Amino acid sequence: MKSRIYLDHAATTPVSDAARAAVVEALALIGNPSSVHGGGRAANALLEGARDTVARFAGVAAENIVFTSGGTEAIALAANGARMAGPVRPRLLVGATEHSAMLQARDDAQVLPVDGDGLINLAALAAALAEDPALVAVQAANNETGVIQPLEKVAALVREAGGLLLVDAVQAAGKMALPDADFVALSAHKLGGPPGIGALIVRDPESLIAIQRGGGQERGHRGGTPNLPGIAGFAAAVAESHDWAAVAARRIALETRLKAGGALIHGEAAPRLPTISSIGLGGVAASTQVMMLDLDGFMVSAGAACSSGKVKSSHVLAAMGLGPAAGEAIRVSLSPATTDAEIDAFAAAWLAMAARLGRKGAA
């Protein structure tokens, strides 16, 4: 049976042993964290201990952590629950290469352009903020290209205008320092934790109102019984450390080999995460590349994972001005567990595929 090599860690990465053990241990508890009896107190102690761990990871106080069902809910909570002055939610400005979770969080968002490397146009941001203060949503690092946004410059513009900054750090968390922002979204399953759990870091809890109301959990910011096993696994995952420099070296080595065979690396002129490569093969549809590599035993994607399970042309690459090439790129994403042997095997398979499909594309 053909071996399978997983190179889609930006979609989800395997649950670590420590996180799995923490989930199993939490499942053995019988109390609801909101109950006042002994079982409830034990569950609440685990909940708040996990909150402390995630807060230390984020460099904030425990009261700044709001647990959610994942990054999508964290983004939606901030996008719809953020308030500046008064009860009216602020205007929303979003970068054109944001994750669909952000682009679809509200239907009234103003989309800001990016340059050819996917970096947000700061002049356009400044002009939009000059109209009146707004909530500005910018990823720390893009989920398809790994491009890291100039968040210090973005934050300075937002602060000067009296606005609020929401950062989607789902891909970046654990791989680079978290930004100084009003809201930061995290997701456990990108970090070696279980799926279905995430958090929103809230600088000022008074600037956020609940969207999901109910029993008053999460200090009134998010109703619903906490996912205690997920939260425990999340905390265990963020407590682990990794050698991202070694991952970056493997990514660079891979890109060097593929470029020699005709690959285009999208966003390569900008700072990028150590884990993600957006690799273009001119004239060959991304869906064809993904399927052929899958048949060869390599699991990659054509961009963000979506519920349809279909390969679509990348809105990220389209916003970067790539035209038809936006539908001709795959995403390869690594983890600290990715080996040199796996990189070598993938490079050989991609080069062989490019030799075959490239000729067809040029015919």
DSSP string for 103-136: HTT-TTPEEEPB-TTS-B-HHHHHHHHHHS-EEE
Nearest C-alpha neighbor of 270 from the set 327, 330, 316: 316
**pLDDT digit string (tens) for 123-163?**
999 999 999 999 999 999 999 999 999 999 999 999 999 99
Contacts of residue 317, defined as CB under 8 A and 6 or more positions apart, other chains included, come to 144, 145, 266, 278, 303, 325, 326, 329
**pLDDT surpassing 80 at residue 120:** yes
Look at the chain and count its residues. Answer: 363
Residues 310-316, mean pLDDT to the nearest whole number: 80
**pLDDT surpassing 50 at residue 308:** no
Tokens 């700061």 locate to: 122
**pLDDT digit string (tens) for 235-288?**
999 999 999 999 999 999 999 999 999 999 999 999 999 999 999 999 999 999
Catalytic residue among 27, 30, 291, 306: 306
Q: What is the dihedral of CA 167, 328, 332, 5, to 10 degrees?
A: 140
**pLDDT surpassing 80 at residue 311:** no
Indicate if 306 belongs to the active site: yes
CB atoms within 10 A of CB 57: 20
CB atoms within 10 A of CB 321: 13
The structure tokens listed for 354 are 């490019």
Is the CB of residue 32 less than 8 Å from the CB of residue 225? yes
Question: pTM for the full model?
Answer: 0.94
Instruction: Classify 164 as helix, strand or coil.
Output: strand
